[in-house]
Amino acid sequence: MPELPEVETIRRDLEKEIVSKRVKSVEVHGTRSVRRHGSDEEFIGRLEGRKVLSVKRSGKYLLIGLDADQDVLVMHLGMSGQLLRVKSPKEPMAKHTHVVITFTQAGQLRFVDPRTFGELFVTRQDDLEKAVPELAHLGFDPVDDVMSWTRFGALLANRHAQLKPLLMDQRFVAGIGNIYSDEILFAAGLKYDRPSDSLSAQEVRRLYRGMVETLSEAIKHRGSSLADEQYRDLFGEVGDYQGQHQVYDREGLACRRCRHEIVRLKVGGRSSFMCEVCQV
C-alpha cells in the first residue's frame, strides 16, 4: 500500500502537471471507484469544466482544489491504485483503468486500480471531514509539520503503546505504514515493541530524526516499489527507495550496519523486519 513518500512523490509531480489545467471531459469505466456518488454522471458533472487550483496531501489522501463552489477532488490509492499521466489520449489503456480525466490542453490523468480499494470523489471543502472522518482525527504530518523533540517526546509519553503500532496509527502520526515504520525503527535503533512512554530523551531524538530522515530520503528516491511493482509514479515508473531499505523485505540478509541476520516476525498480523542486534 502506498505510504506517505509514495503519495507525496505523486503529489509533487501532479502539482507540476495539472495545476491551472481545465478538465475537458471525464469517463468512468469502473463505478466502484466513484462509489460515494449516486451515479457516474454526478461525479462527472462535478468535474467537467473545472480548473485545478491546487494539489495538496493529507496523510495518504490527495486533495485536488477546484475553481468552483470550493469543491475538492479527493483521491485515495487504496491497496493498488495508480494515477498515470498520459500525454496523448491515443496511448493504449491499461487494464483496470476505471477513471479517465481529459484536460483541455495536454493529455489525461488515468486512475488504474486492480483491487478497487482506492477511490475518487468530489466534495465541498467544508464537508471534507464529514466525508472522510479519518481526516478530522489525523495526527501530525511528519514531513510538513516541524516539531521540537520535546513536543514529540511529550506526545510519545502521553501514550502507552508499542512503537511500531503507534507509528502506524494515523491518529498519532499521518502517512506511515508497514514498510516505513520498520525502516524508521531501524534508523532509530529501537525495537518494535518498546513502550512509547519508556524512551529516554536521547531515544526520543533518535526516533524523531529517524522518522524525518527516512521519509525525506524515501521521497528523494521517489518511494518504494516492492517485488510486485504495484507502486508506480505518475509517469508509470517504479520508485527507487527499495534498494536503500535497511530491513524491510530483507529477511536472512546481513544487516548493513552489523552483519547480523535480519529477521522477520509478525506484528499485529503483518510481516515486520528488524535487526536484533541494532534494535533494542
Annotated catalytic residues are 2-3, 60, 270
Among residues 201, 212, 90, the alpha carbon closest in space to that of 143 is found at 212
Which lies closer to Zn ion via its Cβ, residue 154 or residue 254? 254
Neighbour-count burial of 95, counting CB atoms closer than 10 A to its CB (0-12 exposed, 13-18 middle, 19+ buried): exposed
When the beta carbons of 7 and 274 are compared against Zn ion, the nearer one is: 274
Nearer to Zn ion, 52 or 275 (CB): 275
CB of 277 to Zn ion, least distance (A): 5
- Cβ closer to Zn ion: 121 or 192? 192
Give the per-residue contact string, 125-144, with Zn ion (x = CB under 5 A; - = no). --------------------
Using CB under 5 A as the binding criterion, the count of chain residues that bind Zn ion stands at: 7
122 closest CA partner among 34, 196, 39, 187: 34
Least distance (Å) between residue 118 CB and Zn ion? 36
277 touching Zn ion, by CB under 5 A: yes
- Asked if residue 226 lies in contact with residue 239, where contact means CB atoms within 8 angstroms, the answer is no
Q: Cβ contacts of residue 67 below 8 Å, gap of 6+? A: 50, 51, 52, 53
Give min distance, CB of 255 to Zn ion, in A: 3
Q: Which of residues 202-261 bind Zn ion (CB under 5 A)?
A: 255, 257-258, 260
Inter-residue contact 208 to 149 (CB < 8 Å): yes
Nearer to Zn ion, 98 or 164 (CB): 164
- Residue 256: CB minimum distance to Zn ion, A: 8
Nearest approach in angstroms of CB 262 to Zn ion is 8
Q: Do the beta carbons of residue 120 and residue 97 sit within 8 Å?
A: no
Q: Which of 55, 132, 185, 275 binds Zn ion (CB under 5 A)?
A: 275
Is the CB of 122 or the CB of 278 nearer to Zn ion? 278
Q: Among residue numbers 251 through 270, which ones bind Zn ion (CB under 5 A)? A: 255, 257-258, 260
Q: C-alpha cell of 279? A: 534494535
The rounded radius of gyration (Å) of the Cα atoms in the chain is: 20
In a 13 Å sphere around the CA of 150, the CA atoms on its Cβ side amount to: 0
| Position of minimal CB gap to Zn ion | 255
Residue type, 25: S
Shortest CB 120 distance to Zn ion, Å: 42
Report the distance separating Cα 101 and Cα 266, nearest Å. Answer: 41
Query: Alpha carbon 19 to chain centroid distance?
Result: 20
Give CA–CA dist 89/257, Å, rounded.
Answer: 48
User: Which residues lie near Zn ion (CB under 5 A)?
Assistant: 255, 257-258, 260, 275, 277-278
